[in-house]
A = this chain, B = another copy of it.
């Protein structure tokens, strides 16, 4: 059983890595890229079903920073 937790910046939070990539792309000839957003996904392989509550604990306490990041959970 797999669970995918995807973490991204909340709206309005500045994303320095995406900004650097955007400026690099624009500089080297890819001018029609207007924004670069970044997400990180953690694919957890589980030996047995895990309650949603525990998955949310992992997402909030270990994999994301709830002050500046949001996460979504999808089961695969």
- Footprint of B on A, CB under 8 Å? 6, 18, 21, 24-25, 30, 32-48, 50, 54, 58, 62-63
Chosen A-B contacts, 29 in total, with CB atoms closer than 8 Å, are A6-B41, A18-B42, A21-B62, A21-B63, A24-B62, A25-B62, A30-B50, A30-B58, A32-B46, A32-B48, A32-B50, A33-B44, A33-B50, A33-B58, A34-B45, A35-B43, A35-B44, A35-B45, A36-B42, A36-B44, A36-B45, A37-B42, A38-B40, A38-B41, A38-B42, A38-B43, A39-B40, A40-B41, A41-B41
Counted per complex, copies of this chain come to 2
Contact residues in B for A45 (Cβ distance below 8 Å) = 33-37
CA distance A42 to B18 in the complex (A): 8
Tell which of B34, B37, B47 touches A32, judged by Cβ atoms closer than 8 Å. B47
